[in-house]
Amino acid sequence: MKSIPKKLISEIKKHLSDSGKIIVLTHKNPDGDAIGSMLGFYHYLRNNKYEVTAITPDEYPEFLQWMPGSSDIIRFSKDKKRGIKAIKEADIIFNLDFNTSDRLGGMESYVLSSTSIKILIDHHPSPSDFSDYIISETTASSTAELIFLFIKALDGKSHWTKQIAECLFTGIMTDTGCFSYNSSAGDTYRIVAELLDTGINKDDIFSKVYNNFSDNRMRLIGHVLNKKMVVNQDYKTAYISLTRKELKEYKFTFGDSEGFVNYPLSIKGIIFSALFIEKNKFIKVSFRSKGNFPANIFSEKHFNGGGHLNAAGGESYESLSAAISKFTSLLPRYSKYLKG
């Protein structure tokens, strides 16, 4: 199993023992790994009597709100005053599941100007330099997997409670698409085995995350696949777009579009997929790819974003149609990956 350098662990342990207030936080639009790794670590720290506060930049989907500790989380966008106070008072801030500080959204300036010790734990490539300590491992399936290893390294005993295990399992399950990608390492399953040994109910967790949608969402999937998916076999690419009007028509709520961007990749021959969603002030874009097509570089260069090789996201500040035109006109530049 991978391990975190002993020297790093002993330095962090020292900071932990000297500190009063600890913050665990994660990126905006938090996904299952963001919330799972943050809350898993939150429970560990609380169980060990640390004073810990969990903060997200903004709200997250209902299908993640069942997680133990969810109601303790400060949503910075809703409760800015409390968030700022907690950040100002923190002795240590753990930055979890993101590699650049702009992923903190409205919290960024407060975190950057905080005098606390900052510790990054993440699995995205090329973390930028905004933390005092960096635990970055791109081969890990998820940040939750790294939190597992981190807790184990901090605390040789590894007394996994069900609460920690439920959160970390959710992080690993969601970031691997239920073990369909980023999940070819034996280590991932050895970790999952230890988590399952705590007695958590895997099937129940699966159901809470994936079988928890409204009928409107199912109808929206039908609409999207039938009417809104554009397939360009020439460039092995497909994309889906959703206007504000459509979102309203299908009573779209937060999290309803989760997973849409993956559907086109199940079409034979398609290796690059995009999803454009018209938000109030910008277009949210998601990218997924297969093989060596660098979705993160594509997003970083053209759509103000980033992410992993095969899963990335970004934003466009043009109109929906302009963002789509830009996207399609860029494809020939990537012929090396998309043709032949």
**Which residues make up the interface to ligand 5GP (CB under 6 A)?**
27, 29, 31, 100, 103, 286, 305-308, 311-315
Shortest distance, position 16 Cβ to Mn ion, whole Å: 23
- Which of 91, 175, 256, 258 lies at the binding interface for Mn ion (CB under 5 A)? 175
Cα–Cα distance between 206 and 212 in angstroms, integer? 10
Question: Considering beta carbons, is residue 34 or 74 the nearer one to Mn ion?
Answer: 34
Cα–Cα distance between 167 and 122 in angstroms, integer? 16
Shortest distance, position 194 Cβ to ligand 5GP, whole Å: 25
Near Mn ion in 21-50, by CB under 5 A: 33
Exposure class string for 257-296: b at 16+ Cβ within 10 A, else e: bbebbbbbbeeeebbbbbbbbbeeeebbbbbbbeeebbbb
311 binds, among Mn ion, ligand 5GP, none (CB under 5 to 8 A by kind): ligand 5GP
258 belongs to the binding site for Mn ion (CB under 5 A): no
Shortest distance, position 27 Cβ to ligand 5GP, whole Å: 6
Token pair 């929906």 is found at: 320
| Cα 168 to Cα 2, 11, 80, 146, distances in angstroms | 17, 24, 27, 10
Shortest distance, position 146 Cβ to ligand 5GP, whole Å: 14
What is 106-124 written as a DSSP string?
GGHHHHHH--SEEEEEE-S
Q: Are strands 283-289 and 272-278 parallel, antiparallel or unpaired?
A: antiparallel
Question: Considering beta carbons, is residue 128 or 214 the nearer one to ligand 5GP?
Answer: 128
Shortest distance, position 58 Cβ to Mn ion, whole Å: 17
196 CA to centre of own chain: 22
Question: Considering beta carbons, is residue 29 or 170 the nearer one to ligand 5GP?
Answer: 29
| Cα 223 to Cα 62, 152, 241, 260, distances in angstroms | 22, 46, 11, 11
Question: Which residue lies nearest ligand 5GP, judged by its C-beta?
Answer: 313
Cα–Cα distance between 30 and 43 in angstroms, integer? 18
122 belongs to the binding site for Mn ion (CB under 5 A): no
Tokens standing for 52?
Answer: 């810990």
Question: Considering beta carbons, is residue 194 or 315 the nearer one to ligand 5GP?
Answer: 315
97 belongs to the binding site for Mn ion (CB under 5 A): yes
Shortest distance, position 338 Cβ to ligand 5GP, whole Å: 19
Pattern of binders to Mn ion over 123-162, x per CB under 5 A?
A: -------------------xx-------------------
Cα–Cα distance between 259 and 229 in angstroms, integer? 14
Question: Considering beta carbons, is residue 40 or 237 the nearer one to Mn ion?
Answer: 40
Shortest distance, position 324 Cβ to Mn ion, whole Å: 27
Question: Considering beta carbons, is residue 136 or 243 the nearer one to Mn ion?
Answer: 136
Question: Considering beta carbons, is residue 177 or 231 the nearer one to Mn ion?
Answer: 177
H or E element that contains 232: strand 229-232
Q: Are strands 51-56 and 74-75 parallel, antiparallel or unpaired?
A: parallel
Shortest distance, position 295 Cβ to ligand 5GP, whole Å: 8
Cα–Cα distance between 276 and 315 in angstroms, integer? 9
Site residues, Mn ion (CB under 5 A): 33, 97, 142-143, 175
